[in-house]
Structure 1
Amino acid sequence: MVNFPNEGDIIMLNLSPTKGNVRSGFRPCIVLSDSRFNKVLGLSIVAPITNQKKGYPFEVQLRDGMKTTGVILTDHLCSVDLKSRMFKIVESAPTSLLDECREYVFSFMGGEDV
């Protein structure tokens, strides 16, 4: 039985295989989807995390004091089947960080600007 992550969990996950300009490989990601969604469907919507900060408008800086470092790429969302991929829960992000990520996603999906 899979122990599904909760929203705001930072997980290590292999995003390969991918094509094009999509982040791949074994990397940290933040889970943005609600826990109920994750458990019922066996899927999670995640945003990859990178240490290669480029200053793009949708990058969200991880907070000081977290185990994971870098920026969250909220414009690189992936829906992943966690029943078929190996993953490890590393830590849980503060609610303020999860909220900030969701605000960016909402804004580029046609909601209000951040």
Structure 2
Amino acid sequence: MGITSKVKGYPFEVALPKGLEIEGVILSDQIKNLDYTAREIAYICDAPDDLLVNVQKNVLALVG
């Protein structure tokens, strides 16, 4: 799933709470398989549990 700072109000956007090191929304309808090593992805912060629950609900609605 991607994270973007460009909030467009799409139904599957999940807003990141204020106070995190990153701002924007999670695009929970853009499920991706990434090679974290090849992409040189870095850990930024922990996501609150309620945020993860909202993302999981959206994913389940899509893939059921």
Query: Normalization by structure 2: what TM-score?
Result: 0.90
2:12 counterpart (27, 44, 58): 58
RMSD: 1.0
Counterpart of 1:83? 37
Q: Which has the higher strand share?
A: 1
Q: Percent identity between the aligned chains? A: 38
Counterpart of 1:99? 53
Unaligned runs of 5+ in 1: 1-46
1:84, CA displacement in angstroms?
A: 2.5
Q: Distance in 2 between matches of 1:49 and 1:85?
A: 15
Report how many residues are paired: 64
Q: Which has the higher helix share?
A: 2
Residue-by-residue CA offset, 1:29-69 (whole Å, 9 max, x unaligned) = xxxxxxxxxxxxxxxxxx11111111110000001111110
Q: Higher relative CO (CA 8 A, sep ≥ 6), structure 1 or 2?
A: 2
Query: Normalization by structure 1: what TM-score?
Result: 0.53
Note the 1:1-114 alignment, pairs <5 A. Answer: 47-110=1-64
Specify the code of the residue in structure 1 equivalent to 2:4.
T
